[in-house]
């Protein structure tokens, strides 16, 4: 095993900010019991923030971003894992305070590692990645709060993004009536292919004219936040749930107590970084079974890029120019 490998490195000083592909060694990596040869890593909105000087995501510099990875164990000081094991690492501290997946090699604590579930390949795991995991966790949490297909339509905001597109496909696989919200008229055919029964313009999902409007949705997957969340809360059915996982539309929203005390609406915060390893495994097992759409690789649309192409993609994802998933191929 060569001690030298390539990685995308973000560095910040008082005078400068740089994003470059550099050669690294294992000695440059943060501590951990398990060394992984990375095969694939997904590109997420959070990664884009880590690669900007004002993103407020990176907690240390220099940093190798990449909040998820899939690969093969090459060295382990943890008895739960051995050389040759195929594994996933997603969320936790990866790519935020600990060197992440945009690297040919990674070293991580054993407690962060998920054995690749039967039914998924390493590439499929990263087609889901943190975005797909977040979508699956959103569905898991809503179903824990009573959501069922017969309860009514489920709306997905930001439906062409990583969380949104995987959520549409998963919900359709589960038998839900899915309404997709997007500002991209060119992507309607793509969303119908994923399983959307209806498509709404993004503007229809913003702004709460009144604290309570006509009830429409049994559930909502919201990676957008902002005015979209205000609208969703005001239009949920009795006992409905909004699974909130992002802030692409801004961190501020307005609401009242009425959706909660008059309609029993559940606002569910989806934080995929700090959940228990047991819960994480439960969700990944669903991604390998009942939440895995047929023809995953073709359906979601996972474009492959190299490390050298990664900086442009990180910029594009912050501008909303990335449809579906993009994967960094590292093998």
Instruction: Report mean pLDDT in 10-residue bins for the chain, 331 residues.
Output: 87 92 96 98 92 89 96 98 97 90 97 96 94 96 98 96 93 98 93 96 86 95 96 97 93 94 98 89 97 88 90 91 88 89
What is the dotted CATH code of the domain comprising 4-116+301-329? 3.90.180.10
Q: Nearest-5° angle of CA 269, CA 272, CA 277?
A: 125
pLDDT tens digits for 181-201?
999 999 999 999 999 999 999
What is the reported pLDDT for 302?
A: 78
Domain boundaries, the chain: 4-116+301-329, 130-269
What is the reported pLDDT for 301?
A: 67
pTM > 0.85: yes or no:
yes
What is the dotted CATH code of the domain comprising 130-269? 3.40.50.720
What is the reported pLDDT for 288?
A: 97
């Amino acid at each position: 095993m060569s001690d030298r490998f390539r990685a995308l490195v973000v560095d910040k000083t008082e005078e400068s900010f740089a994003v470059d592909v550099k050669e690294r060694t294992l000695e440059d990596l943060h501590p951990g019991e398990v060394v992984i040869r990375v095969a694939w890593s997904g590109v997420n909105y959070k990664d884009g923030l880590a690669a900007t000087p004002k993103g407020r995501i990176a907690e240390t510099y220099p940093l190798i971003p990449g909040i998820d990875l899939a690969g093969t164990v090459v060295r382990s000081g943890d008895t739960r894992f051995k050389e040759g094991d195929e594994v996933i690492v997603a969320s936790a501290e990866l790519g935020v305070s600990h060197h992440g997946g945009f690297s040919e090699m990674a070293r991580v604590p054993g407690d962060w590692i998920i054995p690749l579930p039967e039914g998924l390949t390493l590439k499929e795991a990263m087609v889901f990645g943190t975005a797909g995991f977040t979508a699956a966790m959103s569905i898991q949490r809503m179903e824990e709060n009573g959501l069922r297909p017969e309860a009514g339509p489920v709306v997905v905001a930001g439906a062409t993004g990583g969380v949104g597109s995987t959520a549409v496909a998963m919900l359709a696989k589960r038998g839900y009536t899915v309404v997709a919200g997007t500002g991209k008229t060119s992507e309607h055919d793509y969303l119908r292919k994923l399983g959307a029964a209806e498509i709404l313009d993004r503007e229809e999902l913003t702004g709460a004219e009144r604290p309570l409007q006509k009830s429409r949705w049994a559930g909502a997957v919201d990676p957008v936040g902002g005015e979209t969340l205000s609208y969703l809360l005001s239009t949920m059915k009795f006992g409905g749930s909004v699974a909130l996982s992002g802030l692409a539309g801004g961190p501020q929203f307005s609401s009242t107590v009425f959706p909660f005390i008059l309609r029993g609406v559940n606002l569910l915060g989806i934080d995929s970084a700090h959940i228990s390893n047991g819960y994480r495994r439960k969700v990944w097992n669903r991604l390998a079974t009942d939440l895995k759409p047929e023809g995953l690789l073709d359906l979601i649309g996972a474009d492959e890029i190299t490390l050298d192409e990664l900086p442009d993609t990180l910029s594009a994802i912050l501008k909303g120019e990335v449809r579906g998933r993009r994967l960094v191929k590292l093998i």
